[in-house]
Amino acid sequence: MKKAQLVLVPSPGIGHLVSAIEFAKRLLDQDDSFLITVLVIIRGPFGPDTDTSNQSVLTTIDTRIQYITLPKVTPPDLDPFRSPENYVTSFMEAHKPLVKDAVVNHVMSKSSVPVVGLVVDLFCASMIDVANELGISSYVYFASSAAFLGLLLYLPTRQEQVGIEFKETDPDLIVSCFAKPVPARVLPSVLLNKDGGYTCFENLGRRFREAKGIVVNSYVELESHAVSSFLVGGTPPVYTVGPLLNVNGHGLMGSKSDGHGKIMEWLDDQPEKSVVFLCFGSIGRFREAQVKEIALGLEQSGHRFLWSVRKPPPEGHFALPSDYSNFEEVLPDGFLERTKNVGMVCGWAPQMQVLAHKAIKGFVSHCGWNSILESLWHGVPIVTWPMHAEQQINAFQMVEDLGIAVEMTLDYRMRSDNLVLADKIARSVKCAMEEDGEVRIKVKAMSEASRKAVMEGGSSFAALGDLIKDMLS
């Protein structure tokens, strides 16, 4: 069988790295003629905590994949708080010479097998230049939704028409990748950013059109409207090959997994379909006033709960949250004692394993795309609480476009002063925990569709086959 090499360049964020590795594994499962190399950027702009989480992923690596860790680069001389996305994109662009060197001297020179593609993710679009210089086809691996991809691809057209970033007072946006008009208040913060963020993403949308193809971690059954919008000319072929999930994984945060066993033991002691799980991703965290409202809301809801509470980094530090040494310093007085028979408060939690547990019935989530796919895979309805990145528009899509999530909030932003009150939290949790609610019925059907999509004969299996043919042509 003809062999071919692929090189993947994911961003250092844990969601980007895990998703890219899952794509590589799925590709090899379907066609083992590929030799795949992943270029790992360890020293992320979020500091050493990013290194720890990334290293924990690499301890569970697939031996079929070669990993090359790139040398450290000097971070860009930019304020990460003014535009985190622009900062990260600039950080990734600084790796271009290192990526080219790795491909030439550690991939091409080590084997006569041709390199048929350089696969780059969202923040690595500048690496398309490296592919062009080496005469290699470039592909974008997009770890978010097809709808969000469509929005980015629309930005260059909008820029020609309007010429400035969005404002929250703008009228609802009509864009072909969403079934309903999109309120400006749910647009990602980066598209409202005057400090380089909007311009950065508009440029990404422009660069994506230069790729030979775009691979999306989604499936047609979930996003049929968005996928059909790509059939109009001017867009490279889009391959929906998801959901790409670490289904058999056992957690990703390495040194932070000490409490894993206690969490799973506690869940084992709970009745089936009785627990609401609250978890807000690797970056999500709340200030103390909001933590107290969540606690009061959970008490009011009357439901059993498992709640992952993370400690914000010190003010002014661009870093990941950590675990509290003592939860009582942030929770209401007496909360842990009053809820000890119905709830568990923890630090980091192994999300995929928790969602798979028979005790879980609802999921209050930040609406990161990986988390949405995981919840749908396990048939657990989401209560939307977006925090940052594209999560507001993900929440809008799940609630308004698709009707497969319960709205807590669509426009919450992590750095805002907005406070979601306990009464609203309690109502939303109760709604999600309804036995035969419409959302639960739809989520169950979508769970079955997600599993069929990746099986032989399924839509994503077929799309991956088409991608393989394109790469080898």
Active site residue 121: yes
Q: Kindly give the interhelix angle for 369-377 and 14-30, rounded to the nearest 10 degrees.
A: 50
Pair of tokens at residue 340: 């000890």
Peptide bond into 243 cis (omega under 30): yes
State which H helix or E strand residue 292 sits in: helix 288-301
Instruction: Choose, from 49, 95, 121, 401, the residue flagged as catalytic.
Output: 121
On whether the CB atoms of residues 32 and 26 are closer than 8 A, the answer is no
Instruction: Choose, from 16, 303, 357, 388, the residue flagged as catalytic.
Output: 16
On whether the CB atoms of residues 148 and 190 are closer than 8 A, the answer is no
What is the spatial distance between Cα 463 and Cα 223, in angstroms, rounded to a whole number?
Answer: 14
What is the spatial distance between Cα 287 and Cα 304, in angstroms, rounded to a whole number?
Answer: 23
CA distances from 42 to 9, 54, 91 (A): 12, 7, 12
Instruction: Enumerate the β-bridge partners of residue 173.
Output: 182
Phi and psi at residue 37, to the nearest 5°:
-120, 130
Pair of tokens at residue 363: 């999921």
Phi and psi at residue 407, to the nearest 5°:
-80, 120
What is the spatial distance between Cα 454 and Cα 463, in angstroms, rounded to a whole number?
Answer: 10
* Residue 223, number of CB atoms within 10 A of its CB: 24
Question: Which region holds residue 363: left if phi is over 0, alpha if psi is between -120 and 50, else beta?
Answer: beta
What is the spatial distance between Cα 361 and Cα 383, in angstroms, rounded to a whole number?
Answer: 11
List the one residue out of 347, 390, 449, 348 whose CA is nearest residue 146. Answer: 390
Tokens 């097809």, residue located: 146
Question: What is the SS3 assignment for 397?
Answer: helix
Q: Percentage helix, strand, coil, to 5, in the chain?
A: 45, 15, 40
What is the spatial distance between Cα 332 and Cα 322, in angstroms, rounded to a whole number?
Answer: 20
Interstrand relation of 310-311 and 322-323 (parallel, antiparallel or unpaired) = antiparallel
On whether the CB atoms of residues 6 and 35 are closer than 8 A, the answer is yes
List the one residue out of 391, 11, 367 whose CA is nearest residue 188. Answer: 391
Which residues form the catalytic set? 16, 121
